[in-house]
Chain A
Amino acid sequence: MTPFLDILHYDFVIRGFEAGIVVAIIAPIIGIFLVLRRYALIADTLAHVSLAGLALGSLLGVNPVAMALVVTILSSLGIERLRTTRRVYGDSALALFLSGSLALAVVLLGIAHGFDINLLNYLFGSIITVTATDVIAIVLLGVIVIAILALFYKELVYVTFDEEAARVSGIPTKSINTLLMFMSALTVSLAIPIVGVLLIAALIVVPVITALQFRMSFTKTIICAEAVSIISVLAGIIASFYLNLATGGTIVLVMIGVFLLVLMWKSR
């Protein structure tokens, strides 16, 4: 029996593959808009916010990932609001939410002490703990994210390239920006079980910056980022299984390895 078939004998691995592929498909599409708008840090900020949501969920006895989803979406709208009203600088708004939510998470986790909360799983991901229900939720939400992105694809592209001209042409840029934040929050929450809170930003950003090195058209850049993302997630899961490594970390290291190879190849 070949090693690859061997790995598929474990249900948790199959669930990991299923959830992993969905996240691998969504992350770069969100990523290309965030990276090109210089919003890459939003992914990291929302990830930290989701940790506060996880902690709150554990404390209240609600499904932690569902609570993370709600808290992350609300915060994403708050960040966008703070950014557009210009009460504080954009990057400072992110710093505020990033450290603020981490502070909240630490305090909540302290109160929740004694509850059965596996902090390490949330921080760094653990596909072993992905349940069949999780997979269904991830696939469902994943399909929704992809459908919405497809529906507003051309508006997102135009707003990303030239927000002012997009506004002149009648595109509701404010709504499109809010939609992008909303989708980012959804994606971050979906990715928690796979790579964990601290590594999500890599999933969203690294395949995109890898693809950007090739200097191609927008469409080809997305396809390339998708390929890097899916291959890295699959390779990361397989490698972590056989070498007994942490899955989230392995996936991100594979991605960064691919990025470095491309970078060296392209700058020669």
Chain B
Amino acid sequence: MNTGGNIIELHDIAFSYGEREVLGGISLDVPYGDYLGVVGPNGAGKTTLLKIILGLLKPSRGSVMLFGTDIKNLKSRSRIGYVPQKATNFDADFPATVYEVVLMGRYASRGLFHRIVESDRQFVKRALEDVDMWGFHDRLIGDLSGGQQQRVFIARALATQPDVMFLDEPTIGIDRRAREDFYDLLKKLNDGSGIALVLISHDIKMVTKHAKHIACINRDLTCHLSTEDFVKADKTQDLFSDDLDVFTRDHHHHHDTIS
């Protein structure tokens, strides 16, 4: 793996929904092995930016380079791990076991017309062991708790053997205890396996505790600092003001709603 240089290079990314400009020209470099927390208020364009980086949306202006290649020409998509916002993307009655869900992570690496082989099964097993969920491989995904489900989705992303992993609000609806375990797991992946992480989160306390860099998005890139400098500069207040409080309370409401 290339350890010098940048894994992501954004140049002047802009995006509008009709007349409304959501992103106003964002340039940002993320080095290999980084752990970037992307923070900003609701509706600031964080998820839109993520979708542009992943190639799900086309920017109205600007370019995205992943691994030094323009996203439009990127062939090796298995180097991208993606953990979507669980709550909105997932049908709890879907008839799939934990094992089957993680195996989906291998589908992309295999490509069209290629069968799943024994080595894929090894990757799945290892990915589930990495997130401490191998013991659950026979269970239905919908029967697990929110925190366990999110670990399985991490395992699915890991099974592709990514160099960079994108996580969109991964801890919404997960109780405090599971949330802390979850961040410990992310730290392990970043430190131990050298996977670069891009984490979109409202959970600013947790993000500042773990991430190496913080990017503040509010239509524009309003700050991009090391976490240390971010905390020192006390940017938290500028970003959220009252919004942060509201959101922290919201998390408590979710506390026991997971079956």
Contact = CB atoms under 8 A, between A and B. Distances in A.
B239 to A, nearest CB: 27
Interface in A150-204: 151-152, 154-155, 157-158, 161-162, 164-171
Contacts of A168: 54-56, 77, 80, 82
A8 interface: no
A229 to B, nearest CB: 16
Interface of B: 54-56, 77-78, 80, 82, 84, 89-91, 93-97, 99-101, 104-105, 107-108, 110-113, 116, 138, 140, 156, 160
Contacts, number: 78
A171 B101 contact: no
B84 A165 contact: yes
What is the interface residue range for chain A against chain B? 20 to 34
Contact of A218 (B55, B96, B138, B160): B96
A168 B156 CA distance: 13
A160 B93 CA distance: 13
B100 A219 contact: yes
Interface stretch (A68-76, A123-131, A209-217, A240-248): A209-217
Nearest to B103: A154
Contact of B77 (A170, A211, A216): A170
A36 interface: yes
- 8 tightest Cβ-Cβ pairs between the two chains A and B: A169-B108, A170-B77, A221-B95, A168-B82, A217-B97, A154-B107, A158-B104, A218-B96
Contact of B89 (A154, A165, A169, A212): A165
Given A158-B107, A162-B104, A216 B95 contact: yes
Nearest to B53: A168
Contacts of B54: 168
Given A154-B116, A169-B105, 16 more contacts: A36-B95, A151-B113, A154-B107, A154-B110, A157-B104, A158-B104, A162-B89, A162-B90, A164-B56, A165-B82, A166-B107, A170-B108, A215-B140, A217-B99, A217-B138, A217-B140
